[in-house]
C-alpha cells in the first residue's frame, strides 16, 4: 500500500482531488440522512497531500477566521490527528459545521494556489475540515486548551447561533462565567432550525453545544430577551458585566403580491422550522404537522431556497420547481447546493417572476401566475436587473409555495432596548473590528449586525467580540 | 420543567385550568399576553393566553379547551407534573386606558383570555359591562371572577339555560342602542368576533379583538401567524394578538386556521389508536 508520507513532491502533485462519497441522488432524495459520507483516513491523507505547503498561503487569507490551513493539512498527512484538530480549534469553534456549510468555493478554496493552476482543482479544504472535526467527535477528543481559574466576571449571550456559540466558547476559555439566553427550546440557531438534517446532521450541532456546556457555559432556554427579560435587567439587576447580542436575522420577507395568505403558501423560515426543529418529517410521531406538497414551487434561489426545495422532495413531492427572476449565474446559492438540488431532481424556472398566488374557493393554493423576465442593465451592485417581457404571463401549477427571498432584522429586541443605534435596515450598529455597540457594556455580532451572512462570518464576529469583551472585563 | 401546582376541570371536563410555576414570566406578564407551551420532546408549540398571573407566588394560570391532540396531552398532566417548555410573555400587552364605558364580550374559552383585560379596564376606572356567551349554562366559565371586575355582567346561552336565550351580539346590540359606549373588547370564536365587529362598526364604536392564528416560534421569525389587517400583513405574535376588529380579514383567518385540519385529525386518531398514551 502507498504511504502518503513517502510520496515525493512531484508525486503529490499528481494526486487528483479526492471526491467525497455521496449517497445516490435518487435514493437520498427520499430521506433526511446526510448527503455526504465523509472521507476515510486514507482519502483524507491523499487529499491533504495535494497541498503544496505554500510559503505565503493565500488560502488562509481567504478564510474569514484565518485557520492555519497548510498547518493542519500537513498534520493529517503525518497521521498526527490530535494536533491537527487542536490547530483548527485555535481558529474556529465550529469546524464540523463550517466544513459542511461554508461557501468554500468563494473563500479558502477559491484562492488556493493549486486550484489557480489551469486544469487542477483546489485542495478540498472544507472536506478536510469536516473530516478532522468528525474524527474528533467520533473519538471523543476534547479541546486540550486549559481553562484558567474563574475571573468572577459574568457575561450574558443572547442567542445560541454560530455568533453566540463562538463568543460563549471563547469567553468561557478565558475563565469568565457565561450564560446563553435562547428564545427556543433548543440551541444552535439557524444550524438547528434552518439548515436541514441532510446537509448538517443535528447530532453534529448537539455535539458542539455539549462541548460548550463542558466548558461551563450555561444555557437558559425559553428566554426571549426583550420579553422574558430585558438587556438592562441583565446588566443592572442580574449583575452581568457585559452582554453580547447574537439574535440572527429573523423576520422573513414576503413578496407582497395577492394571495400570499392562502393555505399552502409558506415562508421558508416556517417551512424549515416545522421540518427541522419541530421534526414534522416524523409526523405523527412528532406532533407538528406540515403540508406535504405534491407540486411545489420555491421562490428565490439562495441556499435557503435550495434547502426548502430539497426538503420538499424528501417530504414526498412529485415535482419541485425553483422559480427565480434571474439566471443560474446570479443565483446566490453555493454551487454545490444548486448542483445537489439538480441531481436530486429539482427543476429550475429561471427568468421568472411571480405575480399572484391563485387559490381554490376554500382558500387552498392551486398555482402561481408568473411572467417571464429578461436581463437588462446592471444595477448598483453590478448584477443585471431583470425586466419583465411583455405578454409573457404563464401559470405554474402548485399546491405548495415556499417564499425564500431573504429576511430582515427582527425588531423584537432592538425595539425595547434603549441606547442601541441601528442602521437604516434595522441592523444593530457595531464596530466592525470589535462588535462594540453604541450601548454601554453591550456587544453584537452575526446576522443582526451583518445582515444575512454566513456561519463563518457570524462566528468570526463572535470571536472578535469575545476578544474585545475579555479586554473590557479585565479593565473594569 | 414548569410545574403544575393547581388543576381544575370545568364545562363537563372540556375546559382545563392549570396554575404553573414560571417566576420570570409572571414577573413580566401584562394583560393580553400569552405563553407558548410544549408538553414533551415530541410536542407541538401551543400558544395559550395567561388568564391570571400571581407575581408574588411566581405563577401563571392558563385555561384551555381540549380541541385536539396537544390540548388533550396537556389535560393528562396532573398537579406535580410539568410542561417541558414554557416561553413568554409573548405578544403586545392590551392598551388599557380610561375610556369611559367599556363592554367586554367573551365567548367560550375566550372568556379566560378576556379576564385579565377586563380586570385591567375595571382597575383603570372604566365602567365595565361584561357579556358572556356559552352553549349552555354548564359551559359558562369564570362568571364569578368576571363579576368581581365588572360593574355589570350579562349572560347569553344558545339554549336559554341561563340568561338571555340568544347570541352575545343581540345583547350587545341592545346596549349599543341604549347607551354611549366608548370601546368594545371581544374575545372568543372567530365568527363571534367577526359579527361583533360588524355590529360595532355600524355604531362606530372602536373594537379590539384577540386573534388566534396558528403559531410556531412566537417571536416574529416564521411568519406563520400572519393575518391581514386593513389590507396589510401583520404578525400576530409580535404585533398582536390584539387588533382593531374593524380592520381584520376574518375570512382569511378562518381559512388559515383550517390549514392542517387533515393532519390534526390524523394526529388525534393516532392518539386514540395508541390508547391515549
Ligand atoms: C436555511 C438556511 C440555510 C443556510 N445555509 C448556509 C450555508 O450553507 N452556509 C453558510 O455559511 N450560511 C448559511 N446560512 C446562513 C447562516 O446560517 C447564518 O448566517 C448564521 O446562522 C447566523 O448566525 P447568528 O449567530 O447571527 O444567528 P442565528 O443562527 O440566526 O441564531 C440566532 C439565535 O438567536 C435566537 N434569538 C433570536 N431572538 C432572540 C431573543 N430576543 N432572545 C433570545 N434569543 C433569541 C434564535 O432563536 C436563534 O437561536 C443559512 C441560513 C438559512 C436560514
Ligand atoms: C395567541 C393565542 C392565544 C390563545 N389562547 C388560548 C386560550 O387561552 N385558551 C384556549 O383554549 N385556546 C387558546 N388558543 C388556541 C389554542 O392555541 C389552540 O386551541 C391549540 O393550539 C389547539 O391545539 P391542539 O393540538 O389541541 O388541536 P389541533 O387538533 O391541533 O387543532 C385544533 C385547532 O386549533 C388551532 N391550532 C392548532 N395548532 C395551533 C398552534 N400551534 N397555534 C395556534 N392554534 C393552533 C387550529 O385552528 C386547529 O384547527 C390561543 C391561540 C393563540 C394564537
Ligand atoms: S472555515 Fe470555511 S473558509 Fe475557513 S477554512 Fe474552513 S471551510 Fe474554508
Ligand atoms: S493555498 Fe492551497 S496549496 Fe497553498 S497552502 Fe493553502 S491549501 Fe495548500
Ligand atoms: S409565530 Fe412565527 S412569526 Fe409569529
Ligand 3 contact, A398 CB (< 6 A): no
Chain B CB within 8 Å of residue A185 CB: yes
Residue B64, min C-alpha distance to chain A (Å): 18
ipTM: 0.91
- Return the bridge partners of A220, or none: A181
At residue B277, the pLDDT reads 45
- The CATH number fitting domain A254-403, selected from 3.40.640.10, 1.10.645.10, 3.50.50.60, 3.40.50.720: 3.50.50.60
Show the low-confidence residues of chain A (pLDDT under 70).
1, 144-145
Cα separation, B136 vs A398, whole angstroms:
44
Please answer whether residues B118 and B149 qualify as being in contact, where contact means their C-beta atoms are separated by less than 8 angstroms.
yes
Q: How many helices (H) and strands (E) does chain B have?
A: 9, 16
pLDDT in tens, B187-241: 999 999 999 999 999 999 999 999 999 999 999 999 999 999 999 999 999 998 9
* Closest residue to atom 1 of ligand 4, CA basis: A112
Q: Where does A4-138 sit in CATH, by number?
A: 1.10.1060.10
Percentage above 90 pLDDT, chain B = 73
B2-90 folds as Elongation Factor Tu (Ef-tu); domain 3 (2.40.30)
Q: Inform me whether the pLDDT recorded for B106 exceeds 90.
A: yes
pLDDT score of A1: 62
Inter-residue contact A222 to B86 (CB < 8 Å) = yes
Question: Which residues are within 8 A (CB) of A159 and not within 5 positions of it... i.e. 6 or more apart?
Answer: A180, A181, A182, A183, A189, A245, A246, A247, A248, A446, A448
Between B38, B85, B220, which is nearest A250 by CB?
B220
Q: Which candidate from B86, B217, B226 shows the least CB-CB separation from A261?
A: B226
The closest residue, in CA terms, to atom 49 on ligand 1 is A189
Q: Which residues pair with B9 in a beta bridge?
A: B16
Render pLDDT for B252-272 as a digit per residue (tens, 0 to 9).
Answer: 999 999 888 878 888 777 777
In this complex, is the C-beta atom of B263 within 8 Å of any C-beta atom belonging to chain A?
Answer: yes
Pocket lining: A129 vs ligand 3, CB cutoff 6 Å: yes
Comma-separated ranges of CATH 1.10.1060.10 domains in chain A? 4-138
CB of A262 sitting under 6 A from ligand 4: no
Determine the distance in angstroms separating the CA of B239 from the nearest CA of chain A, rounded to an integer. Answer: 10
**Residue range B7-32: mean pLDDT, rounded:** 92
Average pLDDT, chain B: 91
Q: Rounded to a whole number, what is the distance in Å from the CA of B144 to chain A's nearest CA?
A: 31
Q: Does A284 touch chain B (CB under 8 A)?
A: yes
Residue B234 CA, ligand 5 centroid: distance in Å? 10
The CATH number assigned to the domain with range B101-259 reads 3.40.50.80
CB of B70 closer than 8 Å to CB of B85: no
Domain A154-249+409-473 sits in CATH at: 3.50.50.60
Nearest CB neighbour to A263, from listed B28, B43, B255:
B255
pTM: 0.92
Band (B276; pLDDT cuts 50, 70, 90): low
Chain A residues near residue B217 by CB distance under 8 angstroms: 183-184, 273
Contact at CB, A184 and B217, closer than 8 angstroms: yes
A37-86: per-residue pLDDT in tens?
Answer: 899 999 999 999 999 999 999 999 999 889 999 999 999 999 999 999 99
pLDDT at B274: 67
Amino acid at each position: 500500500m502507498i504511504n502518503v508520507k513517502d510520496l515525493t513532491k512531484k508525486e503529490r502533485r499528481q494526486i487528483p482531488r479526492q471526491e467525497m462519497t455521496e449517497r445516490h441522488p435518487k435514493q437520498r432524495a427520499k430521506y433526511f440522512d446526510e448527503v455526504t459520507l465523509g472521507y476515510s483516513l486514507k482519502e483524507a491523507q491523499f487529499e491533504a497531500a495535494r497541498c503544496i505547503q505554500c510559503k505565503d498561503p493565500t488560502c488562509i487569507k481567504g478564510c474569514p477566521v484565518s485557520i492555519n490551513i497548510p498547518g493542519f493539512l500537513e498534520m493529517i498527512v503525518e497521521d498526527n490527528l490530535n494536533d491537527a484538530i487542536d490547530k483548527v480549534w485555535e481558529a474556529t469553534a465550529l469546524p464540523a459545521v463550517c466544513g459542511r456549510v461554508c461557501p468554500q468555493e468563494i473563500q479558502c478554496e477559491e484562492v488556493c494556489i493549486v486550484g489557480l493552476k489551469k486544469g487542477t482543482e483546489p485542495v478540498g479544504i472544507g472536506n478536510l475540515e469536516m473530516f478532522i472535526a468528525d474524527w474528533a467527535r467520533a473519538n471523543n477528543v476534547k479541546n486540550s486548551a486549559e481553562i484558567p481559574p474563574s475571573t468572577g466576571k459574568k457575561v450574558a449571550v443572547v442567542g445560541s447561533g454560530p455568533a453566540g456559540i463562538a463568543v460563549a466558547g471563547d469567553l468561557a476559555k478565558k475563565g469568565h462565567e457565561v450564560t446563553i439566553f435562547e428564545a427556543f427550546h433548543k440551541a444552535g440557531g439557524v444550524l438547528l432550525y434552518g439548515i436541514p438534517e441532510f446537509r448538517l446532521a443535528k447530532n453534529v450541532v448537539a455535539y458542539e453545544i455539549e462541548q460548550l456546556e463542558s466548558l461551563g457555559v450555561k444555557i437558559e432556554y425559553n428566554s426571549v430577551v426583550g420579553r422574558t427579560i430585558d438587556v438592562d435587567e441583565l446588566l443592572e439587576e442580574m449583575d452581568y458585566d457585559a452582554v453580547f447580542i447574537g439574535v440572527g436575522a429573523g423576520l422573513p420577507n414576503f413578496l407582497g403580491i395577492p394571495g400570499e395568505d392562502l393555505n399552502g403558501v409558506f415562508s421558508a423560515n416556517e417551512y424549515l422550522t416545522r421540518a427541522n426543529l419541530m421534526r414534522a418529517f416524523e409526523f405523527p410521531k412528532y406532533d407538528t404537522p406540515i403540508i406535504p406538497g405534491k407540486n411545489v414551487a420555491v421562490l428565490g434561489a439562495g441556499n435557503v431556497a435550495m434547502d426548502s426545495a430539497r426538503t420538499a422532495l424528501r417530504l414526498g413531492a412529485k415535482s419541485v420547481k425553483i422559480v427565480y427572476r434571474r439566471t443560474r449565474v446570479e443565483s446566490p446559492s453555493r454551487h454545490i447546493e444548486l448542483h445537489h438540488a439538480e441531481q436530486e431532481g429539482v427543476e429550475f424556472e429561471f427568468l421568472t417572476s411571480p405575480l399572484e398566488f391563485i387559490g381554490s374557493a376554500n382558500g387552498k393554493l392551486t398555482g402561481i401566475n408568473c411572467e417571464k423576465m429578461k436581463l437588462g442593465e446592471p444595477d448598483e451592485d453590478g448584477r443585471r436587473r431583470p425586466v419583465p417581457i411583455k405578454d409573457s404571463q404563464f401559470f405554474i401549477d402548485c399546491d405548495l409555495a415556499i417564499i425564500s427571498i431573504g429576511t430582515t432584522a427582527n425588531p423584537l429586541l432592538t425595539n425595547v432596548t434603549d441606547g442601541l443605534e441601528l442602521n437604516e435596515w434595522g441592523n444593530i450598529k457595531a464596530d466592525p473590528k470589535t462588535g462594540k455597540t453604541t450601548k454601554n457594556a453591550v456587544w453584537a455580532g452575526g446576522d443582526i449586525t451583518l445582515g444575512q451572512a454566513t456561519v463563518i462570518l457570524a462566528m468570526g464576529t463572535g470571536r472578535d467580540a469575545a476578544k474585545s469583551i475579555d479586554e473590557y472585563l479585565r479593565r473594569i | 420543567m414548569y410545574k403544575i401546582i393547581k388543576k381544575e376541570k370545568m364545562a363537563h371536563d372540556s375546559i382545563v385550568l392549570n396554575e404553573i410555576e414560571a417566576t420570570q414570566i409572571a414577573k413580566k406578564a401584562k394583560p393580553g399576553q400569552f405563553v407558548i407551551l410544549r408538553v414533551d420532546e415530541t410536542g407541538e408549540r401551543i400558544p395559550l393566553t395567561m388568564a391570571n398571573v400571581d407575581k408574588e407566588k411566581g405563577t401563571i394560570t392558563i385555561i384551555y379547551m381540549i380541541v385536539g391532540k396537544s390540548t388533550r396531552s396537556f389535560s393528562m398532566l396532573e398537579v406535580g407534573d410539568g410542561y417541558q417548555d414554557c416561553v413568554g410573555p409573548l405578544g403586545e400587552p392590551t392598551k388599557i386606558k380610561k375610556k369611559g364605558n367599556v363592554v367586554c364580550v367573551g365567548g367560550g374559552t375566550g372568556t379566560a383570555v378576556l379576564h385579565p383585560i377586563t380586570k385591567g379596564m375595571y382597575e383603570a376606572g372604566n365602567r365595565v359591562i361584561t357579556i358572556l356567551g356559552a352553549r349552555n349554562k354548564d359551559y359558562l366559565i369564570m362568571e364569578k371572577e368576571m363579576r368581581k371586575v365588572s360593574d355589570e355582567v350579562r349572560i347569553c346561552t344558545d339554549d336559554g339555560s341561563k340568561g338571555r336565550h340568544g347570541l352575545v351580539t343581540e345583547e350587545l346590540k341592545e346596549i349599543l342602542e341604549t347607551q354611549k359606549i366608548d370601546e368594545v373588547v371581544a374575545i372568543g370564536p372567530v365568527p363571534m368576533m367577526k359579527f361583533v365587529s360588524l355590529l360595532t362598526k355600524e355604531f362606530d364604536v372602536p373594537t379590539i379583538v384577540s386573534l388566534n392564528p396558528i403559531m410556531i416560534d412566537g417571536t416574529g421569525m416564521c411568519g406563520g401567524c400572519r393575518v391581514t389587517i386593513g389590507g396589510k400583513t401583520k404578525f400576530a405574535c409580535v404585533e398582536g394578538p390584539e387588533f382593531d376588529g374593524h380592520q381584520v380579514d376574518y375570512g382569511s383567518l378562518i381559512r388559515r386556521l383550517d390549514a392542517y385540519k387533515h393532519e390534526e385529525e390524523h394526529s388525534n386518531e393516532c392518539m386514540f389508536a395508541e390508547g391515549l398514551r
